[in-house]
Amino acid sequence: MSKSKIQVDENGKLKCCLENTLSIIGGKWKLVILWHLGVEGIHRYNELRRLMPGITHKMLSQKLKELESNGLVHREQYNEVPPRVEYSLTEKGYSVMPILEAMHKWGNDNW
């Protein structure tokens, strides 16, 4: 097994990339949310809740807001009664799919 192609640009540079990335898509729920939106497309708020039985109201809205402010998720609100809000991935959101695929593959290979 040869060494990786990854090279460090300067002192600590790559480490910072990893930490920056983790700060945006880390935690218990963000990758799962991104996966649902990436694989299945647009979802309403309560659809996402049903798809993630373990998540709480607070976590879902909080993580969606964080993902939106980081430009990974787009929030479309329709002023109807009852209210309707649809979430989808942005271009930047889709760009994390390779990470998701790599993790999914690794999870499959090691279980």
Partner DNA sequence: CCGTATCCTCTCGGATACTG
Partner DNA sequence: CAGTATCCGAGAGGATACGG
Binding residues vs a copy of itself (CB under 8 A): 1, 3-8, 12, 14-22, 26, 28, 31-32, 35, 38-39, 41, 52-53, 89, 91-92, 94-111
Question: How many Å separate Cα 41 from the centre of its chain?
Answer: 13
| Contact positions with DNA (CB under 7 A) in 43-102 | 44-47, 54-59, 61-62, 64-65, 75, 77, 82-85
- In angstroms, the CA 28 to CA 99 distance is 15
Total site size for DNA, rule CB under 7 A: 23
**What binding mask, one character per residue, do residues 2-41 give for DNA by CB under 7 A, x or -?**
-------------------------xxx------------
Torsion of CA 5, 7, 13, 15, to 10 degrees: 50
Beta strands per DSSP E along 1-111 = 43-44, 73-78, 84-89
Is residue 79 within 8 A of residue 62, CB to CB? The reply is no
Residue placing its CB nearer to DNA in the complex, 55 or 109:
55
Q: In the complex, what is the shortest distance from the CB of residue 96 to a copy of itself, in angstroms, rounded to a whole number?
A: 6
